[in-house]
Chain A
Amino acid sequence: MSVPRFWRELGTRYNLIGSYCKLTKTYHFPRRSFDPEAGRESMGTMEDYQFKGDGEVVNATVVHQSQTGYEMFGPYCMAIIKLDEGPRITSQIVDCDPKTVKPGMKVKAVFRKLGEDSESGILHYGTKFALKEIPEIEEEDESLSNIEL
């Protein structure tokens, strides 16, 4: 990612700055210059809005084949999160056993390193999410009943 592109998106990445449409009273993330439901009538009615960073997991999956730059996490959890204000965003869920993340769990925004351009390049920081309550890890079923011998 080019340095200027990352720099232009600092507000979105660091502080979850999106938009609020005064016409339809709806929230949007990332920033929009108009509300797609209201069309051109919403032009000029959009204002910046900082999301509180609270939400819940809509669905989650465990990534075993890590994306480049995420090898040190593997396996890790990626989830669709519904923010309390409405918009849905995709994010990594950190600081937990990835298998324990389930739909409906409450999450909060945390500030983390997202990646880097290279060893000498710029560091990218921004928002990820963490569970508000860490669930108890269920014991693995070690019985052999489901294994075909």
Chain B
Amino acid sequence: MNGIVSYGAYVPGYKIETGEIASVWGADGSAWAKNLNVYSKSVPGPDEDVITIAVEATRQAMKRGKLSGDDIEAVYTGSESHPYAVKPTSTIVAEAIRATPNLTAADFEFACKAGTAAIQTCLGMVGHKQIKNGIAIGVDTSQGAPGDALEYSASAGGGALVIGRNNVIANINHTTSYTTDTPDFWRREGQKYPRHGGRFTGKPAFFKHVMNCGMLIMEKANTKPEDYDYIVTHQPNGKFPIRAAKSLGFTKEQFETGLLTPKIGNTYSGAVFLGLAAILDIAKPGDRILAVAYGSGAGSDGFDITVTDKIMDMDRTETVEDMISRMEIVNYATYAKFRGKLNMGSTK
């Protein structure tokens, strides 16, 4: 069966605590942390962006899968913070894993679910035997405007999945999507920071799509929540994914492994990839995983996944948990410097 041949993840080496951000704006840090269930968020270094994170995650996937560039015939990168407006991230990733020139590549955008749309595209191409292996990447370095609620959660990170039909470590049994025109969060061309509809991002947006997609995929797979060992959903904060999982009938034991937002914030397109990577880091053969992504605008992609025996042959060192435990705390001044929030003016 077609599925995941290998996986990789990358979380930047710095983090800022919610209380530190709140102190700058005179807000109650512990209240914000508790309300969002986000206690710190990852911060990329000044020389890190979507392209560097995508390359690092993809190289880990290539190394784990013992793959060479010649094995890869498609690279698709989903993100809402591609460094170039015109020029693909995916061609740089392909060059950095020495997969050029005999492959197809493109960048995807669908808010936070652009990466899972790339998984579906790879699955289609693998299923129709157009390619042997394709790489789907979900990665972001999104930002919230200073002082905006988003600033407490918008972080950076990403993951890469090699999708293929041979040596599969996890079968993707079913996939489905649920999509509507729902303007809950957007960023206009040329604008630095996104805008959002506040509470409108909840019930008619995140919950409607994640819940419906979750139910649809279980209907398609003829499964119930108790058939799964793990669930991972998009996680814009630490509360929405818990409420969605519980409403679908899942328990804490099923959702806690893939829930990373309380420690690393909202990695946008990287969220489901990183949550899934954290699950695959410890998964056993036969484990069943439900993954439901969400992208504003709006849509959800669902995946019903079963881990195979092959996962036991994979080198699963350098886990997501290892990366998170190495994150070094920075203060707001360093965070502002690293994220280009300082107006340097012009001295030349």
- Residues of chain A within 8 A of B167, CB atoms compared: none
Give per-residue flags for B24-63: 1 if the beta carbon is below 8 A from chain A beta carbons, else 0. Answer: 0000000000000000000001111101100110010000
- What is the 8 Å Cβ interface bit string for chain B, positions 95-108, against chain A (1 contact, 0 not)? 11010000000000
Given known contacts A14-B95, A134-B326, is B344 in contact with A71 (CB within 8 Å)? yes
Least CB distance from A48 to B in Å reads: 11
Question: Does A112 touch B at the CB level, under 8 Å?
Answer: yes
Q: Looking at the assembled complex, report how far the CB atom of B126 sits from the nearest CB atom of chain A, in whole angstroms.
A: 26
Query: Which residue of B has the minimal Cβ distance to A95?
Result: B13
Contact of B47 among A50, A71, A112, A134 (CB under 8 A): A112
B246-281 CB mask vs A (1 if < 8 Å, else 0) is: 000000000000000000000000000000000000
Bits for A60-98, please: 1 = Cβ < 8 Å to B, else 0.
000000000001110000000000000000000011000
Please tell me if B92 contacts chain A, counting CB pairs below 8 Å.
yes
B48 surroundings in chain A (CB, below 8 A): 112-113
Chain B residue with minimal CB distance to A122? B87
CA separation between A10 and B98, bound complex, in Å?
Answer: 11
A95 is contacted by which of B45, B55, B340 (Cβ under 8 Å)? B45
Are the CB atoms of B49 and A72 closer together than 8 Å?
no
CB of B56 within 8 A of CB of A110, answer yes
In the complex, are the beta carbons of A15 and B98 less than 8 A apart? yes
Q: Which residue of A lies closest to B55 (CB)?
A: A111
Which residues of chain B are within 8 angstroms of A95 by Cβ–Cβ distance? Answer: 13-14, 45, 328
Contact A111 B46 (CB under 8 A): no
Distance in Å from the Cβ of B25 to the closest Cβ of chain A?
22
Collect the chain B residues with CB atoms within 8 Å of residue A72's CB: 46, 337-338, 340
The closest CB in chain B to the CB of A110 belongs to: B56
Q: Beta-carbon contacts of A107-143 to B below 8 Å, as 1s and 0s?
A: 0001111100000000101001000001000000000
Known A-B contacts A123-B83, A128-B47; the reply to A111 vs B56 at CB < 8 A is yes
Complex contact B338–A125 (CB within 8 A): no
Distance of A17 from chain B, by nearest CB (Å)? 9
Considering the chains assembled together, what is the distance between the CA atoms of A114 and B55 in angstroms?
14
Residues of chain A in range 1-54 having any CB-CB distance to chain B below 8 Å: 10, 14-15, 50
Which of A15, A71, A125 is close to B52, meaning CB atoms less than 8 Å apart? Answer: A125
Cβ of B13: which chain A residues have Cβ within 8 Å of it?
Answer: 95
Taking CB atoms, residues of chain A closer than 8 Å to B92 are 14, 125
- Give Cα distance in the complex from A10 to B95, angstroms: 8
Contacts of B55 on A, CB cut-off 8 Å? Answer: 111, 125
Could you tell me the distance between the alpha carbons of A132 and B84 in the complex, rounded to whole angstroms? 31
Give the distance in Å from the alpha carbon of A50 to the alpha carbon of B45 in the complex.
Answer: 26
B56 contacts which chain A residues (CB < 8 A)? 110-111
In whole angstroms, how far apart are the Cα atoms of A110 and B47 in the complex? 11
Q: What 19 additional pairs, Cβ within 8 angstroms, besides A72-B340, A94-B47, A95-B13?
A: A14-B96, A15-B98, A71-B344, A73-B46, A73-B47, A110-B56, A111-B56, A111-B96, A112-B45, A112-B52, A113-B51, A113-B52, A114-B47, A123-B51, A125-B52, A125-B55, A125-B92, A128-B47, A134-B326
Residues of A within 8 A of B (CB): 10, 14-15, 50, 71-73, 94-95, 110-114, 123, 125, 128, 134
A-B contact pairs, 16 of them (CB 8 A): A10-B95, A15-B96, A15-B98, A72-B46, A72-B337, A94-B45, A94-B47, A95-B328, A111-B52, A111-B96, A112-B52, A113-B48, A113-B51, A125-B55, A125-B92, A128-B47
**Which 7 A/B pairs are nearest by Cβ-Cβ distance?**
A72-B46, A111-B55, A95-B13, A112-B47, A113-B47, A14-B96, A111-B52
